[in-house]
Amino acid sequence: MSGKETSIVNEARSQEAGAKIDKWVYGGEGLARIDGRVALVPFVLPGEEVRIRMADQVHAKLVSITERAPERVEPPCPLFERCGGCQYQHAPYEFQVARKADILREQLRRVGKIDFAGDIHVVSGPPLGYRNRVQLHIEGARIGYLAAGSHDLVPVEGECPISSPGVNQALAEMRERLKSPKFPRFVHSLEIFTNENDVQINILESERHVARAFFDWCGSVAELDYATAFGNFRVGPRPFFQVNRFLIERLVETALGEAEGDSALDLYAGVGLFALPMASRFREVTAVEAGTSAARDLEFNASRAGVQLRTEHSRVEDYLARLSIAPDFVLADPPRVGLGKQVVGELLRLRPPRIVIVSCDPATLARDLAALTGYVVERLTLVDLFPQTFHMETVAKLRNRL
């Protein structure tokens, strides 16, 4: 090794530091402290002794593990640590779920100043093979996921362990199509969505319009019919639908519980996953959805199911502003940004007796719960829709105590 090379190696080693991982934090990293500074380290377990190199003021790169935690396991995917999709494959599934509950409690306390003293209930399913929908990127004849925090493609040449058999089959077929001159090279990312029988291909990024012939070539259906215990749901190319094929019914059951009565609202209703079963429990149900495609599917699904359901194609805040009488029950399944000030303000004006929030982000949930003054959190349930990742779904049941 030359003198210059030795100098570079020595400089790199001088930037390394030893650390002990204290805990996992929301976002998928472990927290360590070096000389009083916080360092967030990926792919570690609490209690592990590691060597790290700081990448910026807070985030660090894992150099080596000097003392492994006894819980550490071999990841089921050879792309783990390269692909940006999973953060927890090096931990047993029961360990993942328990730490997620800890993280949820901490987020409520840190962001919302909420000390929830009750138990956090957990609903979980199989930790692999659960995803019915994936988003993939394309470079030339390669298809895969992006590496964490970058635009570098990590090709998927085999199966994705967290994806369903139907997704993996469709992915394998797409890899073969990429070898054909018929494949449109101006397509840079796409989505695969399946009910395990039919496949829907959605173009996410393309330099120009993709002809219908491409979708026919892929065997893609324009509208996927997804069967559940609560009926069938038509899902077009744009609307959202839950991605964990094992926990769709249990999520709905957890959110609704024993709820029933005269009137109910389903806010951010999507294609009607909650609204349709609510219609059998309440005399009047109104489902509010702003997205045009989702609202169209919602109306179709309600009509096909033959349920009494009023649909409102409107922004949630606009619809609530027009109400003068509170419903008996409100269910809200907002996007990742949460309810926000306007919706919270309208709910506080109306003061429905019971509110259920289905949240995909514990930080925005904590913010919304803190703002809903006069409501008490009766029950929290962590529904682990995203095993092997830091993402979590929370069902918060609230009661008006004023």
Would you kindly state where each structural domain of the chain is located, as residue ranges?
Answer: 3-72, 95-126+244-400, 133-228
Amino acid at 2: S
- 3-state DSSP helix/strand/coil percent for the chain, to nearest 5? 25, 35, 40
6 pLDDT higher than 50: no
8 vs 60, residue with greater confidence: 60
Q: Kindly state the helix (H) or strand (E) to which residue 145 belongs, with its residue range.
A: strand 142-146
Q: What confidence category does residue 7 fall into, taking pLDDT thresholds of 50, 70 and 90? A: very low
The set of catalytic residues is: 360
pLDDT digits (tens, 9 = 90+) for 185-227: 999 999 999 999 999 999 999 999 999 999 999 999 999 999 9
Q: b vs e for 149-180, b when ≥16 Cβ sit within 10 Å of the residue's Cβ? A: eeeebbbbeeebbbbbebbbbbbeebbeebee
Both tokens of 312, joined, read 């409102």
**How does DSSP assign 226-251, residue by residue?**
EEETTEEEEE-SSS---SBTTTHHHH
Mean pLDDT across the chain, nearest whole number?
Answer: 95
For 78-124, how does the pLDDT look when each residue is reduced to its tens digit (9 = 90+)?
999 999 999 999 999 999 999 999 999 999 999 999 999 999 999 99
pTM of this structure: 0.94
> What are 248-266's pLDDT values in tens digits?
999 999 999 999 999 999 9
For residue 137, the 8-state DSSP code is E
Percentage, residues of the chain above pLDDT 70:
97
Instruction: Determine phi and psi for 174, rounding to 5 degrees.
Output: -70, -35
Position 2 pLDDT exceeds 80: no
- Other C-beta atoms closer than 10 Å to the C-beta of 190 total 22
Question: Would you say the CATH fold of 95-126+244-400 matches that of 3-72?
Answer: no
What would the CATH number be for the domain defined by 133-228? 2.40.50.1070
Q: How far apart are CA 377 and CA 154, in angstroms?
A: 42
Instruction: State the Cα–Cα distance between residues 178 and 124, nearest whole angstrom.
Output: 36
CATH classification number, 3-72, choose in 3.40.50.1820, 3.90.190.20, 3.10.180.10, 2.40.50.140 = 2.40.50.140
Question: Hey, which residues does 344 pair with through a beta bridge?
Answer: none
What's the pLDDT tens digit per position in 61-76?
A: 999 999 999 999 999 9
Q: What is the per-residue pLDDT for 149?
A: 83
User: Class for domain 95-126+244-400, per CATH?
Assistant: alpha beta
